[in-house]
Homo-oligomer: A and B are copies of this chain.
Amino acid sequence: MRSFFFTFPVYYEDTDAGGIVYHANYLRFAERARTQMLKELGFSNSYFLKSPSPVGFIVHDCALTFKRPARLEDVLTIETKVTKMTGTSLFFSQIVRRGDEELVDMTIRVCTVNERLRPTRLPEELAGFFKDEAV
């Protein structure tokens, strides 16, 4: 599966009094990167939300390992890959790096849900894309 890269600087809002990026914020960064990936594939959250059978994405579970801290004005890159697909879920590996240094390692499972937040099948367009691409 090919990798998508998302690069961004660390702002004051992202840091805490320890002088480093507040841990919860990596989940925000990760979602920005997944959104950007969708965009590069030609999709958007809105596209799926506004379809005849609206579909949203919610994080079902995630695991994060914080290896090294990031600091104000560091430029970070997130590498995003889909590692597995089921009928209603996409499994992501997302790695945050500063240059070559690995800072945070994330595995995130995203589910597709309908308007009542019930699990629903991955939209055809996405499933088709990842079926071809995923190992």
Alpha-carbon distance A58/B50, docked complex (angstroms): 25
A58: chain B residues at CB < 8 Å are: 18, 20, 23, 66, 69
Q: Is the CB of A45 within 8 A of B72?
A: yes
A58-75: which have CB < 8 Å to B?
Answer: 58-66, 69, 71-73
CA distance A72 to B35 in the complex (A): 11
**A118 → chain B, closest Cβ, in Å?**
11
Confirm or deny: A87 has a beta carbon within 8 angstroms of a beta carbon on chain B. no
Q: Among A24-32, A78-86, A93-101, A126-134, which stretch is in contact with chain B? A: A24-32
Tell me the complex Cα distance, A19–B16, Å. 7
Copies of this chain in its oligomeric complex: 4
> Are B18 and A23 in contact, CB atoms less than 8 angstroms apart?
no
* Closest chain B CB from A89 CB (angstroms): 12
Given contacts A13-B16, A17-B17, A117-B20, contact A65 B73 (CB under 8 A): no
Q: Is A15's CB within 8 Å of the partner chain B?
A: yes
List 6 A-B pairs, Cβ < 8 Å: A12-B45, A15-B16, A17-B17, A46-B72, A61-B63, A63-B63
